[in-house]
Structure 1
């Protein structure tokens, strides 16, 4: 039933203006639509995310969302050059020069946005 339909991520923000500066300025997102005090961003493969105001932003200790990318190390390098700070988790697996961890058939790296949400980049191997 639902599996045949696109799924979209909700990204909580305690300060939408500050979060927009991060997503648009550092990640290069372009707003598609402003609605309900938040903003919709379209991503690849007909997906999207909704950045919305809430006092509960940054409370999850798990990844809020992840992007499937072709080359995690390249993306990490480019995002670091734009000022994105990546997390340094002590996990099992091989760590690349960029700080990405390879384990379980994937390579991944994590960063937090301005709201404290954990985001991930994942590359299938």
Structure 2
């Protein structure tokens, strides 16, 4: 058996400086430059590695979810920063509101999830606390 002492996730980016500006300057995370990329520390202490890749292709799935107390407030804050949350079209299977928020039909007000992109085009989300 392999002895595992920890874990982290990673995703590629196309520009380390733009990623640092976004994740640290815009979203308020902390980072450390390591191995040519960024080790991002998330709220709660988990870490993720954003590494530069010359032939980067943005992920088409959500690579990072940010838990927030109220998705409406979080989306309003993202909009104030010029970040769009209307990535996907609303459909019967995925009914989104005008801000791109998918609501939990059985949830309380402020529940839901909304997606946005980082400068490299990777999909991120803000999702209400469970």
Gaps in structure 2 of 5+ consecutive residues: none
Aligned residues: 120
Q: Distance in 1 between matches of 2:26 and 2:60?
A: 22
CA-to-partner distance for each residue in 1:23-79, whole Å, 9 max, x for gaps? 122212222x21100111211222122121113534321111212222111111112
Q: Which structure carries more strand by proportion?
A: 1
Is the contact made by 2:100 and 2:115 (CA closer than 8 Å) also made in structure 1?
no
TM-score, L = length of structure 1:
0.78
Alignment of 1:1-125 (within 5 A): 7-31=7-31, 33-90=32-89, 91=91, 92-93=93-94, 95-96=96-97, 98-103=99-104, 107-124=112-129
Larger radius of gyration: 2
Displacement of 1:22 in angstroms is 1.5
Distance change >3 Å, CA 6–CA 120, structure 1 → 2: farther
Q: Distance in 2 between matches of 1:58 and 1:82?
A: 24
3-state SS of paired residue (1:85) = coil
Structure 1 stretch displaced more, 55-64 or 94-103 = 94-103
Structure 1 stretch displaced more, 103-112 or 66-75 = 103-112
CA-to-partner distance for each residue in 1:71-103, whole Å, 9 max, x for gaps? 111111112212222234224355446431114
